[in-house]
Amino acid sequence: MLQSTGTSSSDSYALTNIGGTATTVTLTRSQNFFDQTPASFSLPAGGTQLVFITAAPQAAGRYEATSNIAGTGVTSGSNVPIRLLAAAAPAAPVAVTPVATRSDFVAPAGENPENTIVMFKNDGASTIDGLITADVPWITIQNSVFTLAAGETRPVPFTINRALRPDAAAPVGGAAATLSFSYVNASAAAGAGKPAGDATTPVLTTVPVTIVDVVSLQTSSSFVPPIPAGQIALYIPGASSQSFAIGDLVLSNRSASTIADLKMYFSGDGGNTGLSASVGQFLSNSSISFPGVVKNIFRFSSHSGTLHFRGAQLTDIALIQQQINAKFGKSYGTALPLFRSDRGPLPGESLYLPGVQKTAQLSTNLHLQEVSGTQANVTIESFDAEGLNVGRRETTLLPFHSIDLIDEVPAGGAIVRVTNTSGPGGPGRINAYALVIDSATNDAVSIVQIEPVTDPMFLPAFGNEASPRQMYLNLSNASNVPITITATTIAGPSRRRTSAHSIASSAVPQQVTIPPLGFRRLQISEQGFVKLTGSTALRVGGTFAVAATAGALGSGVGAVPKMHSLTLDQTRRFAGIDDASAATRAAGRQLTYRTNVILAETIGQPAKVKLTLRYVFPTGRVSTDSVSSSTFDVPPGGLILISGLAGSVIGPARATFGDLRNMILDVQVIGGNGSVLPFLQVIDNGTGDVTVRHE
């Protein structure tokens, strides 16, 4: 605990009964500078009790004691260390910053990472004493009290013990934590003669660093092999590792059996040779994260290429690759598209990418991938909003190769058409996506085509939260005749509540006519979801823009056909979900996230939906696996807005768990005749950047 001299401080810890019998616990203390409540309590089998610690005001100095735990079934001598640092505020504000806001540490299975340090710098004019803490049991701090002289940069050593990770039985992939330096600061004065606070007024300040422990996989040089009969392959082109960018991969096994044959390949610079790695035993109903997968697993520190996935059960695996850019000191994330080998244009077919741009600040990169293992010829054309061709090029994609075309779209371009021009002798299959990039932040929005369908298509419009946001529909016409499209917004209130809110159908239609091969952009000012009807020639993408942050583009939003809605007993899984604590959100910490949900009913029938969260939270010196569920009634043709996913599903206990990371969400329709589309909105607490997900 940390306190300013003359003030009290508080903290808490949790005790969990992992046995099968209830017990009574009694607490005593080795020193009297703190109180603990409750001092005695009953603890049922599987139950958890929070113990609240309050330290009375103390003179400046360091205080240590133990909270001693006794009771039937409690190991003799069990205790929790209690440490307190009392310090006076400095004469002037001090700014302590981490040298890096995230540090990744990598070691093979069976070993703990070495040389585990993070660096803090004191940019102030005063020496400062503070506390170093970690929010997980698998990180141990050698010296919890840390001193930084004025202008000094010093390392903080710590150790990682994988035997205390949640997956300790067989550690695989990555685990994340927060290491923090907390100190008593002085408030800053502001304004001529009207200070915001006296310079000596104490302010408790916390400076966090994200720590990522990655269990490396054994890799070997390999060609990307042919696709076995009866199987599919998956691809993520454009995965990269740069000095300012890193990509985090999350996989989830949604089947009831262990997957033993999952293999990953990374082919750098677009080729079909590179490195391969076997994932090993992928347990049922579990997820694996590979933070910084290109760098930490495949050892490429400055490369871009394609991640390939092979295995007999790929249809049972959910994947997401989040590319994080921090070129200018702020973090912005982009979810990269996932391609299948059995989808995409065959010879003579085209795909359309609406909403590409070229301005003084925006540019568009194209990423092309051959997915079948056969050479393909490709023609790339750019069209303006009226359907005029403003650019063209031809290229060849070798088997399983990818091509990155940087700043490909010329000024005036609004649509890109990618055509597979392979002849009958070389029927390669292709796919492609675009990234619109803002040069002010390096933030990017992905644009991908949804397969053309006769169904209506739906997009979420999350609307406002804490800052203004805008939703734009990018509509293009893939035919040689004009088409008329109707966009109907099922609208909700302008601001969302902090819990689930049911909204009945309230249609707000807009109509737009699009010329042959032309483009139109519609702004959606209501929150809710948008239904698109009118023509099978429509190709659509959305952009969820963060208007309040200069240079932050927000997220690409894919249109989802009605046929992908969930019906009775069907489930959709989302992996790699984070939910920051209230304190982390309030601090506006980058690279931490909060998650909101839309459940949209698409056929005018009621539906009951169960949301199930699987998560891990630290309880003292161990981590506890837990599962929580909650049900929601979705009105016919309406939607449910759920602000704060974890709090809405877990309930009041969520406030005691701190930051929750790498959760798994299952969305299941358990009643009614309705069809439901689930969408997630993931928000960076530091920048307000948005990612919209629909798996």
Which CATH number is 278's domain given? 2.60.290.11
- For the chain, the domain total comes to 5
CB-count burial class (<10 Å; 0-12, 13-18, 19+) for 626 = middle
Residue 509 placed within a domain = no
Distance CA 55, CA 53 (A): 7
| Pair 69, 133 in one domain | no
| Pair 580, 686 in one domain | yes
Q: What is the pLDDT of residue 188?
A: 66
Q: What is the pLDDT of residue 251?
A: 94
Beta-bridge mates of residue 458:
531, 560
Q: Which of 216, 233, 265 is the last residue of a domain?
A: 216
Q: What is the pLDDT of residue 246?
A: 86
Distance CA 410, CA 185 (A): 52
Q: What is the pLDDT of residue 190?
A: 45
Residue 481 placed within a domain = no
| Pair 307, 384 in one domain | no
- CA count, 13 A, side-chain hemisphere, 298: 33
| Pair 52, 102 in one domain | no
Residue 525 placed within a domain = no
Average pLDDT, the chain: 88
According to DSSP, the β-strands at 79-87 and 2-4 are parallel
| Structural domain for 414, as ranges | 343-449
Q: What is the pLDDT of residue 193?
A: 45
DSSP 532-549: EES-TTEEEEEEEEETTS
Phi and psi of 72, rounded to 5°?
Answer: -60, 125
Q: Which of 449, 475, 504 is the last residue of a domain?
A: 449
| Pair 433, 372 in one domain | yes
Q: Give the amino acid at 540.
A: V
Rg of the chain on CA atoms, in Å: 27
| Pair 432, 375 in one domain | yes
CB 503 within 8 Å of CB 641: yes
Q: What is the pLDDT of residue 37?
A: 96
Residue 7 placed within a domain = yes
| Pair 244, 231 in one domain | yes
Per-residue tokens: 232: 């599919």
CATH of the domain at 130: 2.60.40.10
Distance CA 235, CA 291 (A): 17
Q: Which residues of the chain have pLDDT under 70?
A: 188-200, 269-270, 272, 424-426, 451-453, 463-469, 491-508, 544-553, 618-624
| Pair 119, 70 in one domain | no
Distance CA 437, CA 440 (A): 9
| Pair 355, 443 in one domain | yes
| Pair 227, 299 in one domain | yes
| Pair 121, 25 in one domain | no
Distance CA 269, CA 197 (A): 55
